[in-house]
Structure 1
Amino acid sequence: MSSFAARVVDTAIGWYQRSISPRKGYSCAHRVAHGGDSCSEAVREQVARLGVVRAVPAGALRFLACYRAVALLLPAQTSGVCCIGPVPIPFRFGGRRP
């Protein structure tokens, strides 16, 4: 049986996947670059398997891998918004600033 916190996180991620993700205008860079689950689905599974607290390090590593996957997709110059849930985090790799 999962904890109350795990059920809350699962519900929140499910809401994000249904309500925000389809409308944000970009896909999970990790999924596009490597295939498999999106970051939100991977974290959702980790929370279900490990619990909220124990899933935090693995989730953080997954978000870092997603951040780095952007550079694989567009190595010359990349800018945009990282896909860490509903919180937009702007980033820029390479190239000169305009």
Structure 2
Amino acid sequence: MLSSLALGLIDLYQRRLSPHKGFDCAYGALTGGLSCSAAVADLIARNGLLGALPGVVQQFADCGRVARQAGTRVSGVCCCGPIPIPFGWGR
């Protein structure tokens, strides 16, 4: 049930919010791979919400690493459940 809710919220974010935020996921844009939201949705679909957590943390760490290597400044908000968590990395 929580996994379905999380996937629904990711879908809502991808369709309604992401197109209007003004920037792309550093990982997806710079590597040609999945965006963080798509990667997280895939992890949740395959492993369930709790089982996906280590992969989710790794995905965000990889995104930050790629952004730093590219010398870009990235900031945003990761909504992990009901808690918005601001983040930023790069120059």
TM over 0.5: yes
Alignment partner of 1:41 is 2:38: yes
Letter in 2 for 1:38: S
- Structure whose residues are more often strand by fraction: 2
**Contact 2:26–2:74 under 8 Å retained in 1:** no
Identity of matched residues, %: 30
Please list every run of 5 or more consecutive structure 2 residues that lacks an aligned counterpart in the other structure: none
2:73 aligned to which of 57, 74, 79: 79
Q: Name structure 1 gaps, 5 residues minimum.
A: none
The residue aligned with 2:28 is: 31
In 2, Cα distance between equivalents of 1:92 and 1:5:
30
Number of the residue aligned with 1:20: 17
Give 1 or 2 for the bigger CA radius of gyration: 1
Higher alpha-carbon deviation: 6-15 or 83-92: 83-92
Q: How many pairs does the alignment contain?
A: 88
| Alpha-carbon offset, residue 91 of structure 1 | 2.5
User: Which one has a larger percent helix, Structure 1 or Structure 2?
Assistant: 2
1:37 maps to a residue whose letter is L
Normalization by structure 2: what TM-score?
Answer: 0.82
TM-score under structure 1 normalisation?
0.77
The change in CA–CA distance for 1:73 and 1:51 in structure 2 (over 3 A counts) is same
Contact 2:7–2:41, Cα closer than 8 Å, also in 1: yes
